[in-house]
Amino acid sequence: MSETFNEPFPLAYGTYDDAVKLLNKPGEKVVAEFSVNWEMIKIYCSMVEDGNASYWEEGYANKQWGGIVAPSGLLLTWPMSLQWHPKKERKHYFIAMTIPLPGDTIINVATNTEFHRHLYLGDRVSVVDELTDVSEEKKTRLGIGHFLTTKAQFFNQRDQLIAVQTNSLFRYYVPEDES
Amino acid sequence: MSGDITLKYWNEISEGDTVTTVTMDVPFERVILDAAATQDYFPGHHNPAYARHQGQKEIYLNTMAIEGFIDRVATDWAGPHTFIRKRKMQMRSSIYAGDTLRGEGTVEKCYEDDGRHLLDVKINISTDSGLCVPAELTLELPAAKSS
Confidence of residue B128 (pLDDT cuts 50, 70, 90): very high
- Tell me if B67 and A73 make a contact (CB, 8 A cut-off): yes
Distance from CA of B139 to the nearest CA of A (A): 10
Asked if the structure places residue B84 within a domain, the reply is yes
Q: Which residue of A has its CA nearest to B67?
A: A73
Mutation to test the B interface, candidates A7, A38, A72, A106, most B Cβ within 10 Å: A72
Asked if the structure places residue B95 within a domain, the reply is yes
Rg (CA), chain B: 17
Q: Which residues pair with A153 in a beta bridge?
A: A128, A164
Asked if the structure places residue B18 within a domain, the reply is yes
What's the CATH code of the domain at B99?
Answer: 3.10.129.10
Residues A27, A131: Cα–Cα separation, whole Å: 9
Asked if the structure places residue A4 within a domain, the reply is no
**Domain containing B126: what range?**
8-27+63-140
**Residue-wise pLDDT tens for chain A (179 aa)?**
455 665 656 788 999 999 999 999 998 899 998 899 999 999 999 999 999 999 999 999 999 999 999 999 999 999 988 888 898 877 766 788 889 999 999 999 999 999 999 999 999 999 999 999 999 999 999 999 999 999 999 999 999 999 999 999 999 999 887 65
- Tell me if B63 and A108 make a contact (CB, 8 A cut-off): yes
Nearest to A110 among B30, B91, B94 (CB): B91
Distance from CA of B102 to the nearest CA of A (A): 12
Q: Which residue of B has its CA nearest to A106?
A: B54
Distance from CA of B134 to the nearest CA of A (A): 10
Asked if the structure places residue A11 within a domain, the reply is no
Phi, psi of A33 (to 5 degrees): -70, -40
Distance from CA of A115 to the nearest CA of B (A): 5
- The average confidence (pLDDT) of chain B is 95
Residues B98, B95: Cα–Cα separation, whole Å: 9
Asked if the structure places residue B54 within a domain, the reply is no
Across A34-38, B41-45, B70-74, least confident range: B41-45
User: How high is the pLDDT of residue B6?
Assistant: 85
Residues A127, A56: Cα–Cα separation, whole Å: 26
Residue B140 contacts residue B92 (beta carbons within 8 Å): no
Asked if the structure places residue B104 within a domain, the reply is yes
Does residue B47 have a pLDDT over 90? yes
User: How high is the pLDDT of residue A156?
Assistant: 98
- Tell me if A80 and B63 make a contact (CB, 8 A cut-off): no
Asked if the structure places residue A61 within a domain, the reply is no
- Tell me if A110 and B43 make a contact (CB, 8 A cut-off): no
Q: Do the bridges between strand A138-139 and strand A161-173 make them parallel or antiparallel, or are there none, so unpaired?
A: unpaired
Does residue B1 have a pLDDT over 50? no
**Domain containing A81: what range?**
16-35+72-178
Residue B67 contacts residue A15 (beta carbons within 8 Å): no
Nearest to B80 among A48, A52, A80 (CB): A52
What's the CATH code of the domain at A157?
Answer: 3.10.129.10
Q: Encode chain A in three state secondary structure.
A: CCCCCCCCCCCCECCHHHHHCCCCCCCCCEEEEEECCHHHHHHHHHHCCCCCHHHHCHHHHHHHHCCCECCHHHCCCCCCCCCCCCCCCCCCCCHHHHCCECCCEEEEEEEEEEECCCCECCCEEEEEEEEEEECCCEECCCCEEEEEEEEEEEECCCCCEEEEEEEEEEEEECCHHHC
User: Chain A contacts of B53, Cβ < 8 Å?
Assistant: 1, 3, 5, 105, 174, 179
User: How high is the pLDDT of residue B95?
Assistant: 98
User: How high is the pLDDT of residue A1?
Assistant: 44
- Tell me if B55 and A73 make a contact (CB, 8 A cut-off): no
User: How high is the pLDDT of residue A5?
Assistant: 61
Q: How many domains does chain B have?
A: 1
Sign of the Cα pseudo-torsion (A51, B138, B125, B32, in order):
positive
pLDDT tens-digit series, residues B88-127? 999 999 999 999 999 999 999 999 999 999 999 999 999 9
Q: How many domains does chain A have?
A: 1
Q: Is B31 helix (H, G, I), strand (E, B) or coil?
A: helix
What kind and span of H or E run contains B13? none
**Complex ipTM value:** 0.96
- Find the angle CA(A72)-CA(A121)-CA(B116) to the nearest 5 degrees: 45
The DSSP-derived string for B35-85 is HHHHT---GGGT-HHHHHHTT-SS-B--HHHHHHHHHHHHHHHH-TT-EEE
Does residue B62 have a pLDDT over 60? yes
What kind and span of H or E run contains B147? none
Asked if the structure places residue A90 within a domain, the reply is yes
User: Chain A contacts of B137, Cβ < 8 Å?
Assistant: none
Residues A116, B80: Cα–Cα separation, whole Å: 17
